[in-house]
Structure 1
Amino acid sequence: MTAPGAAPATPEIWRFEAIGTRWEVGTAQALTADDRAEVAAAVDAFDRAWSRFRDDSVVMGLARRGGETLAPEDTDLLLSRLTEIADATGGAVSPLVGGVLARRGYDEGMSLTDRGPEPAPSWRDVLSWGPDTLRLSRPATIDVGALGKGRLVDIVHGLLAERVTGPLVVDASGDLRVTGAELRIALEHPFDTTRAIGVITAASGAVCASATNRRRWGDGLHHVLDARTGEPVRTIAASWAFAPDAMTADAIATALFFDGGPEIAHRWGVEWVRMFTDGRVEWSPGNPAELFRRADTVAS
């Protein structure tokens, strides 16, 4: 509520680039320079810890030499959830998939030069962590991409929720968290970005999407690889997950590309939709999205 005689809040959309993607932050009032600086600092801290695309990050230091280092903030949160997804998908998702992605061309320099498939090492044999330490028994590349962007959306959302009042939307190109603003969000068709397969109306919580039509290169290569083989996923084209927080939704959106994804989504209480490369659409029993149904859609 605006106090008598006070100027009304001015809604704002702040757009910026970070972690290789475009962000939009929508607020009911203009952000201050301090607000933006706090967001920039939080993003940089996360990037310095977990990015595969900057030479000075913690994970790239471990990739070069292995050994032990001071655990970045969120280490247990990220890796515990990520290894749970790894177990649920039979190792198709792996916290050590970074080297696999790099070999296929999705590397630090974005060379897009394919050097062939290679399975990820067993994370149980190589990776360990404790309250203060992160350790690799030999050089390997940690990749938290399965849920990292969602976690950063939650960090930015939480930071701004303490600084501004009213509706708040944080959108990192497909990973979105909203509070107090009813949004109608299209589920983009992975084969035709001018169309949607459905819509969801969200006033709170997170919606995260993943699709193989994004970040494609070479002969059918894309960013969703099976860590057991080093080969790109061929059966699922896109997924959407709906959860209270973006990290959880992001993790499930990744898991849904593999067997075991629907089962862990059920255990975590996450609703979802996924589309197969043959055009079929599958969804969870409590899916909140309105789907534009065809004969080849099925409920899970």
Structure 2
Amino acid sequence: MPYPGWTDFSFDGIGTRWEVSTPSPLSGAHRRRLLDAVEAYDAAWSRFRPDSLVADAARAPGRYELPAEAAGLGQMYSTLYRLSGGAMTPLIGASLARLGYGAGYSLRPDGPPLPAPRWEEVLAWQGTVLTTTEPVRIDIGAAGKGQLADLLSAELRACGIGEHFIDASGDLLNSGPGTGPIPVEVALEHPYDPGRAIGIIRLGSGALCASAANRRAWGDGLHHVLDGTTGAPVRTVVASWAMAATAMVADALATALFFVEGARLQQEFDFSWLTVYSDGHAEYSADLEGALF
């Protein structure tokens, strides 16, 4: 837990482990609200369950009405699709499945890398409405965990619990204690040695999210960060961290740093960042709250 005396509520959701820390234990009703929010999000966005809304879009083209959070998610992906020249895309689901990261978790490639379909040719995303011209496998993993952290934070605030800290398996959202949270020191995992750290970041109010090629990796050099234009894993970047006011922005930009230089992203987003490249060098923003070893 981030602060002495706080208590944790731990659970599994959307394929990852969550810990919600608060000054006082959450009641059964509060816990139920959080779990219901996780279930609703999974029912809409999971490409691993056949009854989700995005699973419907994978079966047939058509018009699909999505939950309210879809509007912000679509806007974020649209911007990052443009900035990355199509490399970062929500249409990457079939590409991941081709390399073995599908609903069956075979972890074995089923052919050569498969480029994602071009957004402008198959998908219109207007607010909460998706309209597709062919079956598409939507995957919002690059921003979804962060957005769900924001939604859980909103649930806690609606319950009058303004002070809380959410840890979604290393993606962090800090909203306490008080109006000016005491910064939490977070070690940055070495991309080639999980037992070592390459630095420390001090997280005050806001979110810190990471993306790394050694997470969700399998096979011979395969990992989950794919270039949508080729369908192949990114090789030039091995790890990235992003700090922003919301977890969705931090989560999405941590992945975007695999495709777009941080300085370019800062022209459109208010965030700080660190990128570690496969040749061993690192680049980071001047306002990064921390230190590299």
Please report the TM-score for the alignment, with normalisation by the length of structure 1.
0.91
- Report percent identity of matched pairs: 47
* Alignment pair present for 1:98 and 2:99: no
Distance in 2 between the 1:265 and 1:48 partners?
A: 33
* Alignment pair present for 1:230 and 2:231: yes
Change (3 A) 1:166 1:67: closer
CA-to-aligned-CA distance 1:179-221 (integer Å, 9 cap, x gap)? 1243111111111111111111222100000101011111110
CA-to-aligned-CA distance 1:47-79 (integer Å, 9 cap, x gap)? 111111111000011101121122222122101
Residues 13, 25 of structure 1: 8 Å contact kept: yes
Matched residue, 2:194: 193
CA-to-aligned-CA distance 1:111-134 (integer Å, 9 cap, x gap)? 112022011011111111334532
**Correspondences of 1:195-234 after superposition (within 5 Å):** 195-234=196-235
Residues 186, 196 of structure 1: 8 Å contact kept: yes
Q: What code does the residue aligned with 1:58 have? A: L
Distance in 1 between the 2:117 and 2:162 partners?
A: 46
Matched residue, 2:180: none
Please report the TM-score for the alignment, with normalisation by the length of structure 2.
0.93
The structure 1 residue matched to 2:23, chosen from 25, 28, 33, is 28
Q: What code does the residue aligned with 1:80 have? A: Q
Matched residue, 1:122: 118
- CA drift at 1:269: 1.5
Distance in 2 between the 1:88 and 1:193 partners?
A: 31
Root-mean-square deviation (CA), in Å? 1.6
Matched residue, 2:137: 141
Matched residue, 1:244: 245
Distance in 1 between the 2:128 and 2:259 partners?
A: 32
Distance in 2 between the 1:50 and 1:261 partners?
A: 28
Residues 23, 164 of structure 2: 8 Å contact kept: yes
Matched residue, 2:185: 184
Distance in 2 between the 1:168 and 1:25 partners?
A: 7
CA-to-aligned-CA distance 1:152-172 (integer Å, 9 cap, x gap)? 010011111232546310110
Residues 262, 273 of structure 2: 8 Å contact kept: no
Q: Secondary structure at the match of 1:93?
A: coil
Residues 104, 113 of structure 1: 8 Å contact kept: yes
Distance in 2 between the 1:234 and 1:41 partners?
A: 38
Unpaired segments ≥5 residues, structure 2: 178-182
Q: How many residues get paired?
A: 284
Q: Secondary structure at the match of 1:86?
A: helix
Matched residue, 1:3: none
